[in-house]
Amino acid sequence: MEQTPWYWIDDVAQLDTPALVVYPDRVKQNIAYLTGAVNELSRLRPHVKTNKSREATRLLLEAGITKFKCATVAEAEMLAMIDAPDVLLAYQPNETKIHRLLKLMSTYPATEFSCLVDNLTTARQLSDLAVAAGLIVPVYVDLNIGMNRTGIAPSDDVLTLYSELAQLPGVRPMGLHAYDGHLRDTDLAVRTMKCDAAFEPVKRLQAALVARGFDKPILVVGGSPTFPIHAKRADVECSPGTFIYWDRGYQSILSEQPFQPAALVVSRVISLPDSTKICLDVGHKSVAAEGELSQRIHFFNAPELNAIGQSEEHLVVEASEGHSYKVGDVFYGLPNHICPTVALYERASTIENGTVTGEWMTISRDRLISV
């Protein structure tokens, strides 16, 4: 007797599609692997930009994780709403975001908030506004170790900036932030070599700051691709995010990591425009519209279908002549990139033992919750 696939939903008829669905048991298994990969839970600072929900993040808290990373003020507020003890806004705030961050600090005093800076101008503005609000903001210097997106190169300029931060009354330098998301080699040995090379100047900066009399700076490093490498270091905080749901993209290039897909997009056939074309209800608004069209979503129960066109509400795929698909058929799709896909949905339906059991609201997909 053929076994029912893990993703199958017995009461799928009650789901209006396209629908984001999450499998909590698999989420818990991913969290268990995460916590088992480090020697101390205090070394984990997972990024919540993937799940954006209180329910998923509570599972991390229940697993003993107390430190978190986020990319938006709304994500920071979502974390504070569930009493997350330590929240790093891994983003350098402009003036408007500074006001919002300071408001969060006043509204949720039980949560310690921090943020990134990579220049003195922003740091001074942050300090001045913090002093006016009667607050001190912990900050991490953002390093550019090859991502070429934000941060400053790991040079003596970092030592200068760190020293200047220590003189500002409204901020308190805590450490260094080094994201190496550009390192995605499928060969773990090659990825490890590149990761170690990028990390070496970060370690040297830490030692140099200690030599100048600073407390040992905290190092917040890496993402999902380099997690197994940084996890073996004794004194860094690791901040993967995608691990919680996983996706087709990382599954294909990070084969050494045993995380498993825990969130899918369910779609239906809505039209058969000709003998080989099938139209599904999963358009740009339903799955991350990045990368090659053929790779945006993989259907577990129809892997042979080839995407040939996508618009806002539709995905057209090519099937073989004489296929048996019909209008109303349900497809279970694994997105290539789950993080921006989740942000397209206000809620995710939870699936347990093949049944729809509830909803997780994607509360921090909004730019503003209350602050």
Q: What is the pLDDT of residue 1?
A: 59
Domain boundary among 246, 272, 290: 246
**Length of the chain in terms of residues written:** 371
- 275, burial (CB in 10 Å: exposed 0-12, middle 13-18, buried 19+): exposed
279 and 173, same structural domain? no
Number of domain units in the chain: 2
Tens-place pLDDT, residues 262-301: 999 999 999 999 999 999 999 999 999 999 999 999 999 9
207 and 127, same structural domain? yes
CB 82 within 8 Å of CB 58: yes
Domain boundary among 211, 246, 281: 246
236 and 275, same structural domain? no
333 and 288, same structural domain? yes
164 and 48, same structural domain? yes
* Domain at 91, CATH number: 3.20.20.10
344 and 235, same structural domain? no
164 and 55, same structural domain? yes
Divide the 371 residues of the chain into consecutive groups of 10 and give the mean pLDDT of each group: 90 98 98 97 98 98 98 98 98 97 98 98 98 98 97 98 98 98 97 98 98 98 98 96 98 97 98 98 97 96 97 98 97 98 98 98 96 95
Q: What are phi and psi of 315, to 5 degrees?
A: -130, 120
In which residue are the tokens 């909803």 written? 359
What gap in Å lies between CA 83 and CA 271, rounded to an integer? 47
Please state, as a whole number, how many other Cβ atoms lie within 10 Å of the Cβ of residue 179. Answer: 25
Residue 7 lies in a domain: no
| Domain of 164, in residue numbers | 24-246
Query: 251 is written with which tokens?
Result: 């599954």
54 and 194, same structural domain? yes
Residue 127 lies in a domain: yes
284 and 140, same structural domain? no
Please state, as a whole number, how many other Cβ atoms lie within 10 Å of the Cβ of residue 196. Answer: 14
Residue 65 lies in a domain: yes
Q: What is the pLDDT of residue 76?
A: 98
**For residue 309, what are the contacts with CB-CB under 8 A and spacing of at least 6?**
293, 315, 316
176 and 47, same structural domain? yes
What gap in Å lies between CA 297 and CA 288, rounded to an integer? 9
SS3 category, 314 = coil
Residue 371 lies in a domain: no
Residue 320 lies in a domain: yes
227 and 301, same structural domain? no
Tens-place pLDDT, residues 338-371: 999 999 999 999 999 999 999 999 999 999 999 9
Residue 315 lies in a domain: yes
CB 235 within 8 Å of CB 189: no
Q: What is the pLDDT of residue 52?
A: 98
Which DSSP string corresponds to 77-105?
Answer: HHHHHTT-SEEEE-S---HHHHHHHHHHH
Residue 90 lies in a domain: yes
Residue 5 lies in a domain: no
Query: 324 is written with which tokens?
Result: 């048996």
Domain boundary among 222, 246, 270: 246
214 and 171, same structural domain? yes
